[in-house]
Structure 1
Amino acid sequence: MPANEKLKEKISHLPHKPGIYKFFDDNGIIYVGKAVDIRKRVSSYFNRSAQHNKKTLKLVSQIKDIEFTIVDTEADAFLLENNLIKQYQPKYNILLKDGKTYPYICIVNERFPRVISTRNKINDGSRYFGPYPSGTTMHVVLDLIRTLYPLRTCTYNLSPENVAAGKFKVCLEYHIGNCKGPCEALVDETEYNAAISQIKNILSGNLSVAKNYFKERMAAAAADYQYEVAHQFKQKLDMLDDFQVKSTVVSNTLTNIDVFTITSNEDCAFINYLKVMNGSIILTQSLEIHKKLDEADADILASVVVQLRQEFESTSREVITNIELSLPLDSISITYPQIGDKKKLLNLSLKNALYLRKERESRQEKNKDLSEKRELRVLETMKKALRLTELPRQIECFDNSNFQGDNPVASMVCFKNGKPSKKDYRHYNIKTVVGANDFESMYEIVTRRYRRLLNENQPLPQLIIIDGGKGQLSMAVKALKELDVYGKIAVVGIAKRLEEIFYPGDALPLYIDKKSESLKLIQRLRNEAHRFAITFHRSKRDAGTLKTELTDIKGLGPKTAEALLAKFKSVKKLRELSQEELSEEIGKAKAALLYSYFHEAKEVE
């Protein structure tokens, strides 16, 4: 199926749900986008080409694969898109090109820490909170914190030595009450850090301390008849209530967590992995695992959890999953949430796993129907092209192989409904023919094959293909006549040079259209029979070489030869050994025989 047809097929199975989608070329992710309706949005890239600019057309021309992740709301898709863009940095996403990203609140790693806003998260020991869905939301929180706690905003290096030396003077911020003057040691460091600790609680989602503070200040102001001040604290209290935007994508109540969910059918397991760090989903991965045996879901998931955690360098100590799971990992807790934000996150992961399963099963069913229709069409075409009386649902093809008359062997391959049935393949050692006689060899193997089927009351094929010309075909016909099955099975020969099809008793060959699916199937059968015969012949020839080189030496048995080759891998390496080295392996007497054989052989050569 052409690449564009595969993409159309995949797009037709995309969900009408909010989420993100990822476009891939041969090297990886090239674009991440968000959508209220994933299928409609992705389809628009391919259905509205006249409305696209050159860059979009170039993007579409490079798409080789599409993946998606379902989320609950458009806002979740918006935030998840940003996380994935930062994670993968696709070349067609303009967000990173502009250096734009969502804002964080940062508690700077310094003495008398500042609390600032930033869009650049770096590993400098500072504490970051967010990201926030908008700058407005972030500034409300930041203003709230600065109103609650007088903090410094200057960038001075307030080391104990600099402060003690009196290098700095208080500024206007101190005089209007926004700063307590740490630059002149007017505030105790312990007191300042206590305020920073309360701020961390607020930004981490622990709002009770701040709420109690507001309520106390509001009550105190009202008791003192300062109603305007009380109203200001009431406004701040309302802001605090709106502070944390509840979302399955961003939630400060969820820190570093790995989420794994699994669902399965008889053939495959479908797994979704969400990696959550600092309250945000930074990675999503959906996997389809083909079962080798009848493995339990818990066994499959345990293996995948370990593999993916290593692959993505996860350090989280909590794994959320939807089934009972035992992990061979120290310090990892496994939870099965029933309510709350973790349950929402688990449901989101399971939703993706279930959708992957539904989409794959739907596609497999459709592909199965298409495959069966195609196979039936090819067989119908072959029946017509070869003038058969019945549909060739079982086809068997024979081929001979020998090298200068040595080790003659043969093979038979079987196709059922147009597909290889490898359990029915057969190798044959030629038993009744001496030397390279392809005609007599063909007679022998055809006789042996169908005599056995008749004796075992096994069904006969509808078509036999002989890899060879008129000579091999006539010997196959002779064998079938002697077994009294000629006329019950159609038989043809195929000559390699011009791909001619020969019929018994017909002097003129049949030429099938070179582009015909029937000829391609016949060629595939012929090539498979040839490959199968050659592989068997090579193994026989190698065994014969072993016999010629070593076991023909009088006094050297097959067990000794086998032991030597098992250790030294080749006769060439044995030739390079000294007689003393050989003696250590097989004793002096046999070493003398072998060394003498190699030495004399070299002189002759």
Structure 2
Amino acid sequence: MSESAETPAPPPPSNRERLLAEVAALPGLPGVYRWFDAADGLLYVGKARNLKKRVSSYLHKDHDGTRIGHMVSRIARLETTVVRSEAEALLLENNLIKTLDPKFNILFRDDKSYPYLKLVSHAFPRMAYFRGAVDKKHRYFGPYPNAWAVKQTIQLMQKVFRLRTCEDTVYNHRSRPCLLYQIQRCTAPCVGFITPEDYARDVRDAERFLLGDTQEVIDDLQSKMMAHAEGLEFEKAAALRDRIGSLSKVLHQQSMDASSLSASDKDVDILAVKVAGGRACVNLAMVRGSRHLGDRAYFPQHVDDGAALSADEAEARFEDDLAGPENARAMLAAPECAVLEAFIAQHYIGQPVPPVLVTSHPVDPALIEALAETTGIKLRCTHQPREQRRIWLEMAAKGAELSLARLLAEEGSAQQRTRALIEALDLDIEDPAALRVECFDISHTAGEATQASCVVYEGHAMQSAQYRRFNIEGVTGGDDYAAMRQVLTRRYARLAEAVAAGKAEAAPAEGEAEPAAEEPPAAAPKAKPARAARGAARLPDLVLVDGGRGQVSMAREVFQELGLDLGLIVGVEKGEGRKVGLEELVFADGREKVYLGHDSAALMLVAQIRDEAHRFAITGMRAKRASVRTGGSKLEDIAGVGPRKRARLLQRFGGLRGVAAAGVEDLASVEGISRELAEEIYRALH
């Protein structure tokens, strides 16, 4: 049998013998291994202290009837990489997992863009919210779990230390103090109301507070307050008293006694995991400068398969070490431990790691040692904390439980809505998760900047990565029908050709007998002919258009010209008074209009998809209109200024006029703008 004829079925003896020969030649060194199926798809990535022993266990052990056995039955090829240490294996393994997305590994989204509080280098430094790559020019504090935590901290810094937050373009052109000075949130260094020395002292106090030296800051403020009181400077003493009161209130809100915290509790990450219903949640709570900043939930993929394989690896580690009590072996083989270890390994690669990790479940010490070696930080990990750490862990565990319950409820609701829509429209779909809906909407302002949007619903969720916008050109402004014709033609013309080609390949050759049909052709569902080739062409199961009979008629004409099934088209017609819940569905194939009822789960899903298409179209239209009206094309014409840099410039300076008024130094302070590019922008706009 030729190699091209192989299928994902269990490997033939010749293939198994080849794999056994490869495994026999492996060294007993640390490394990373990768299993592939017959279609060259990556099944699993793993690391091992002893490559030969670990890899051979897959082929020699009996895995029948298990998730591991399901993977082993699909193995066709092996790749290995030998490394010098377990730390290198850890780094390589998780880089491969995040890059290649294996089918049987627990996978967390590579979403590690945490926000920071930034102290911008200046004679009078300002506080700013920052997200991105840090540099050595400025001071950064964090990371914080979310934007809200950063903004709350900035507000606190304004109340207590009264540091400025205004941009340099505003600061350099002030002739009188702003409202923040009036409400005692800034000391107005822009107009000289505070000396550089006093402002520098406030900055130092703010830095010490953010680093966790709160009691030292309070003691210094108290001593200064007493000095002002003894010098009969009662107004200054009262201002310091108010600062001390604000700091004490913050400490009270954090619900902790600062005296009970050790020095190691200044920077701590608390990790709690919950597994239920085939899903998992890892809740990460952050403590920075002895302040609990909040938490953030993560939901991995491939939980069941990955947990089974990780449990097998944990068992292999104990067999290699010939150590460890039975209860420890059982705990490390639990799915919670597998999820937690996968999160630690993937999350902290290339990410700042605090010196202390508090976990809800035990973690393999070898993982912590390898992570410490990789990051160069001495790490301590505990899963049975006491005192304040125990309180933090209980809070994180409760957050994980609530987040997972909310996710399961949302997924259950989404699945229920999908099934309800399939039943309401009598769609011929066996797996509700396979339902693909594309929805179109037209947006413009009195005919200006017309744009069409296409959003996609699949797998019980909106697939934002597959959204598309279409600039509508060559039609009369405000002609929504012509715009709909153009967008549908552009979207489905090539797909229609692919479907037609698929039908031609499936047709019997001349002289070949057609297979006998089980049912008469008339009894077959209308959507089946288009669905036959849908695997490659990606035609949707349903095409929603935001509109009534007019828009549906235009869509019907396009589908007739392209030779596509009219049964795919459904229009969403607004009800009496355009009230939500009174929408009716209009069909292109001649069926009567359908009102599903205001409490129908199917109508809720249709409205959700329609509203998302409307939102996506409006945001695109407004951006296009703003670009036309503000002359955004002037920035677009500058070499080296792409969409992201252009957006940062416009956001930083409030529009093109602000960009044109900025100097080279101000332009160069924007993230991603080099000195050379700043000079080029300045020359182009002047």
- TM-score normalised by length of structure 1: 0.38
Q: Which has the larger radius of gyration?
A: 1
**Higher RCO (CA-CA < 8 Å; seq separation 6+):** 2
- TM-score normalised by length of structure 2: 0.34
